[in-house]
Amino acid sequence: MSQWTGSSRRVLRAAILVWLFGAAAAGGQPGTPEGRETMTASRKPLEEVLRAHTDRLMALPGVVGTAQGLCDGKPCIKVFVARKTPDLLKAIPASLEGYPVAVEETGELRPFQPPRR
């Protein structure tokens, strides 16, 4: 007699379908290098990716800050610049370890100075 009951077969089929659709949505077929690369690229937490790249980004002249945020409802890395220039936009990557990068012009940032009384 088979060790798989009707309900456990249905659960297994559902799990396989979820895996197949997830791989397709991630940009590749299961078992292909593209699918594996895309699926693992965003498994690293955004906070960790941001921490790993912030020093390099902040070293670029004109970059005044970095943060995590949402771009089109999905997690992304935000790079704040005093002024968007063509050279600066070329130096900032479009994505880092699978997360999109958005460049936002903020102007110069200064620490808050409370009014004197």
- Residues 40-87: tens digit of each pLDDT: 345 799 999 999 999 999 999 999 999 999 999 999 999 999 999 999
Other CB atoms within 10 Å distance of the CB of residue 50: 18
User: DSSP states of 1-44 as a string?
Assistant: --S--HHHHHHHHHHHHHHHHHHHHTTS-TTSHHHHHHHHHT-S
How many helices (DSSP H) and strands (DSSP E) are in the chain?
Answer: 4, 4
pLDDT-derived band at 33 (thresholds 50, 70, 90) equals very low
pLDDT-wise least confident of 27-31, 51-55, 62-66, 100-104: 27-31
Residue of 9 and 53 predicted with greater confidence: 53
**Residue 108 in 3-state DSSP?**
coil
Q: Rounded to whole angstroms, what are the CA distances from 92 to 38, 72, 105?
A: 21, 19, 13
Residue 114 has pLDDT above 80, yes or no: yes
